[in-house]
Chain A
Amino acid sequence: MKLYNYELSANCYKVRLLMSLIGIEWENITVDYYPGREHKSEWFLKLNPLGQLPLIEDDGFILRDSHAILVFLATKFDDTGKWYPTQNAEVLGEIAQWLGFADSLNSTAGSARLHDGLFIECDIDSCRSGAHRLMRILDEHLWFQEKQNNMWICSHSNPTIADIACFPSIMLSEEGGISRIDYPAIRRWCDRVRRIPNFIVIPGIFAAGPDINCENTGS
C-alpha cells in the first residue's frame, strides 16, 4: 500500500491515523505540496486529475479522496468490522451523513488553517463563521450522545470512520483562529479520540495525557 502523502495535510492525516488504528503497513511517498506544489505537477495529475492529496495505490488499485479511502481501508482491512460496520444500515447512513459534515469542516475550519498557516486564499471571515456554526451543531450532537452513554459521533459502541473524518479539522482549528473553548462536548470527544489505542499525532496535535476522570461523560 502506497500513500501519496503530505505531512501537514489534515486529509492525509485521516488516512495515516486510520491505518495506524487498524494496523495497516504502508509505504510513504512524500509529495512536496508546499511550497513545491508537486500535487499540481504533470506526473501527479496523471494519478489524480483533481491534483489533490491524499491518494493511495493498493496492488494497482488507485483511489483518491480521503473519505473514499477511509471507506475502502476499513472495509478491506478491518476484520473486526467496527470502523465501518457494513451490516448495519442505520450506522452506515449516519457515517455517510457525517462524512459529508466532515467535508464541510474541511472547507471551513480546514481552509482557515491553510489560509493562516500557508497563505492559501479563501474568504477567511466566512470560513471561520461557517466553522463555528458546524462546531455548535457537533457540540450539541455530542452532548446528547453522551447523555445516552454514547461516546462517539454515530450510534455505535465503537468509534467509526466518521470520528476519524471529523477529528483533524476540529483538533487543528485553532491554527485557523477558531477556538474550541465554547464547545466542551467537542473537547471531551477530542480527548477520547486521542486515547484510542494506536492513536498517532500530526504536527499541531499532541497525544492526550492519562484520563484522570475515568471518562467523564459530562453527566
Chain B
Amino acid sequence: MTQVDSTLISDWHVVADIETLKDDTITTTYLFGERIQIERNHLKSISVTTDSGREVISRQKYGFVWVCLGEPGRPIIEIPEAEENDRHVITGGSMGVHVSGLRVVENFLDMGHFPFVHDGYLGVETNSETFPYQVDITADDEIVATDCKFFQPVASPNAEGGIMADYEYQVLRPYTAVLYKTNPLQPHRKDYIAIFVQPAGEEHCIVHPFLCYLKDGIDRCTVRWFMQLIFGQDKPILENQLPKCLPLDPRAETCIASDATSVFYRRWLREHNITYGAIPIDSASNFSESKSGDIIR
C-alpha cells in the first residue's frame, strides 16, 4: 500500500451514506486502497472492520458513516446549517469517480468551468467571464474564497430566471470542501453544499455530497436531482483529467487568474505535506515514472 499521510490517517473520512445500507448486511468499500467492511445490525449500530479483521473507529453523523483509521486528531467538522429547521438536510447521492479526490475538490472550487461544463444551468457559454475574487487562509488554517460572483441562468431549481449568484468557498480539510451560494428566493440567505471525498485509492474516489438547502420552493427529491445533474456533468471531465493525481508542482499545469483558489489549494496541500492522490514536487523529476502514466516524457 502507498504510504498514507499521517494527517489523513488521524482524520475522519466518510465511507458510506447510511440510507444505502441494509440491516444485517455487509457493505464493502475502499479507503486508501484498503478494503473495509461496513456492517449494520438490526439495532442500526454500525461496525467497520479492515480486511485484516481490525475494527476501526466509526461514527454516524449527517447521514453518513465516518471512520478514522488511526487515533482521531480532531473531531468531525461541525455544520451549523444542518441544525436549522427550515432547511432540507440531506445526502446528495454518493458517486464513484475514477480520478484523485484532490482533483474533485479542485474542480468543486472552480467557477471558470461553469459556462462550459454546466452551460444553461450554472453559466452560459456566451458569458464566460470569471470576476476577480478574494482568497485567504483563515486563523483556523482553512482556505476561504470570498466575493465570488457568477451569472447563472438556473442557479437552483427554484430560480425563476437567471441571477447573479454570490458564492463563498471553504476548504476545511484536504478532502473536504464546502460552498455557500445565494438562495434565489431568499437572496440574503445561502444554500450550503459540502463534498466529503473518500480517497478509495490514489486515482479512485467516492464523492459524498451533503446539502442544506432552504426548503422554500423546493422538495428533497429536487435538491438531489439537481446535485446529481450537475455532478453528472462534471464526472466525465474529471475522469478525463491526466495525470489522474493532482500535481503540486506549480510548474506542472498552467493557471490563469480565475484559478486563484486552486493555486492556494495546491500550495496549502504542499505545506501540509499531503501526498496521497497528489504528485509531490519531489517526484517532478520522475514524472515519467510517476503515478499516472500518460504524462509527456
Contact = CB atoms under 8 A, between A and B. Distances in A.
A34 B98 contact: no
Most chain A beta-carbon neighbours within 10 Å: one of B225, B229, B230: B225
Nearest to A31: B221
Contact of A116 (B17, B96, B220, B232): B96
A177 interface: yes
A182 interface: no
Contact of B232 (A30, A32, A119, A203): A203
Contacts of A32: 220-221, 224
A117 interface: yes
Interface string A32-47: 1011101000000000
B224 A175 contact: no
14 contacts: A7-B225, A30-B221, A32-B224, A34-B93, A35-B17, A36-B221, A116-B96, A117-B95, A119-B96, A174-B236, A174-B239, A203-B229, A204-B233, A204-B236
Report, as a range, how many residues of chain B touch the other chain: 20 to 34
Interface residues of A, number: 20
A119 B205 CA distance: 12
Given A7-B228, A8-B228, A35 B235 contact: no
Interface in A106-147: 116-119
B225 A30 contact: yes
Interface of B: 17, 19-20, 29, 91, 93-98, 220-222, 224-225, 228-233, 235-236, 239
B221 A7 contact: no
B228 A36 contact: no
B236 A35 contact: no
Given A35-B20, A36-B224, A203-B229, A118 B96 contact: yes
A214 to B, nearest CB: 24
B176 to A, nearest CB: 20
Contacts of A204: 232-233, 235-236
A134 B239 CA distance: 24
A32 B224 CA distance: 8
B10 to A, nearest CB: 27
Contacts of B91: 35
Contacts of A206: 236
